Amino acid sequence: MALPRRRTQRADVAVEFRDVSRRFMLYHERRNSFQDWFIGLIRPRGNAEEFWALRDVSFSVGWGESLGVLGRNGAGKSTLLKLVTHILEPTSGEISLNGDTHAMLELGAGFHPELSGRDNVYLNGSIYGHDRQTMAERIDSIVEFADLEQFIDTPVKHYSSGMFMRLGFAIAVHMDPEILVIDEVLAVGDANFQAKSHRALHQLKDQGTTILFVSHNAEQVRSFCDKAILLENGRLIDSGKAEDVVDHYERLLAGSSGTDSMELMRLRVLDRDGRSAETVIGGDDIEFEALLRVSGDSIPGDLTLGIDVYDADGVHLFGRSSAVPTELPMNEVDGGKLATAKGRIHRMPIRSGELHLVATLQRAGDAEQVLGRSETNVDVTPPAISAERGMLHLDQEWHWAADGRVQVDQKDGK
């Protein structure tokens, strides 16, 4: 895919926050009637409380860098996004945005349902400041990227949610953004489209686009971002390499969980003999093992152990969680007890490539409560002798007709 070429930036950094704060006033006085509302227009309201959504936040992002923004619910991530996209203005401090800023906050938010996909491409282009001739030069690439060749002249009100979001993403990455703000949209479409999306974002980075990425998915921040910042109660409490900040974020979540009775120690892939393996054969079963340390007197009844599989581009291929039993067979060791969980993926459909496996110990029903995390990589190699081609292994069946005759449908026969 050929994206529009980058322009040359002059400023030293793309985005800079200098001691930025944002205050909101919370009013506890209720207005129950039109008279109360009218009086409030001419008389200040009482019982106001200051709430600082952000306080003295400073960071900078260079050209071609990707910054992950992490934090628990209420930490200030949404306020930061609104400041970057000019929806809000800071109460104090300075924000420098030294390029055209485009936001992927809600894909397809500017679509008109009665217009076709093609007309909406031109409409969104005008919103981004591009004339019709410029969009005419890019529309073929946009349509191809979104896989909507057969439906581009259909009104978007007839699109599925996946088609809607694919077109929105395709438009956004073709708008030649200098600064791109992304809010939880990297899981658009199927695995093939997700891989295409990741490649497009990496290409934009290589061309000099600066990307701010806000997500609850620590694995996406870890795999995609160069740097990250961590917000807590409106303040910046950590910044630096994405890997280090993600580790801090996960420790923060684990510390807020109120339990230290179980710890996820290790995840590994096993070969047929039960030994650690770094390579498996495509189409074979993959067995994995998670080791947990139990230090308390009992196991909480609301824990889950999950396994997620990603490809080399960070595309989420598979994930599943299971409840942790409150009674487990365990081995006594110094400092606690060890429990082992084993799982198996039957006939791994990936024939070749690198896989990234992540095990997580979490509170049931709370994706943010990560109590423990372990990961490992494994290379999938194709069988030495195989009639199959391509990336996937699929169960299939071939046979020859016993009598040699060919069945022909009446509508296809002559």
Q: Which domain holds residue 365?
A: 258-381
Give me the chain's average pLDDT, please.
Answer: 79
Length of the chain: 414
Query: Does residue 187 belong to any structural domain of this protein?
Result: no
Residue 132 has a pLDDT of 92
* CA-atom Rg of the chain in angstroms: 26
pLDDT band at 253 (very low <50, low <70, confident <90, very high): confident
Residue 65 has pLDDT above 90, yes or no: yes
Residue 181 lies in a domain: no
Residues 328-338 have pLDDT tens digits of 666 666 556 77
Domain assignment of residue 46, yes or no: no
Q: What is the pLDDT of residues 371-414, one digit of tens each?
A: 777 788 888 887 765 555 565 656 656 555 566 565 555 544 44
Q: What is the pLDDT of residue 413?
A: 46
In a domain, 372, yes or no: yes
Residue pair 224/68 in contact by the 8 Å Cβ criterion:
yes
Number of CB atoms found within 10 A of residue 260's CB: 11
Tell me the per-residue pLDDT of 148-181, one tens digit each, with 9 for 90 and over. 999 999 999 898 878 888 898 899 889 888 999 9
Return the pLDDT at 228.
96
What DSSP state is assigned to residue 276? Answer: B
**Mean pLDDT score, 253-274:** 70
Q: How confident is the model at residue 94 (pLDDT cuts 50, 70, 90)?
A: very high
CATH number of the domain that residue 322 is part of = 2.70.50.60
Tokens describing residue 19: 């001691």
CB contact at 8 A, 281 and 383:
yes
Q: How many domains does the chain have?
A: 1
Q: Is residue 153 part of a domain?
A: no
Q: Which helix (H) or strand (E) holds 240?
A: strand 235-241
Contacts of 35 (CB under 8 A, 6+ apart): none
Does some domain include residue 267? Answer: yes
Q: Is residue 243 part of a domain?
A: no
Is 393 domain-assigned?
A: no
CA angle 211, 216, 217 (to 5 degrees): 80
Backbone angles phi, psi at 323, to 5 degrees: -65, 140
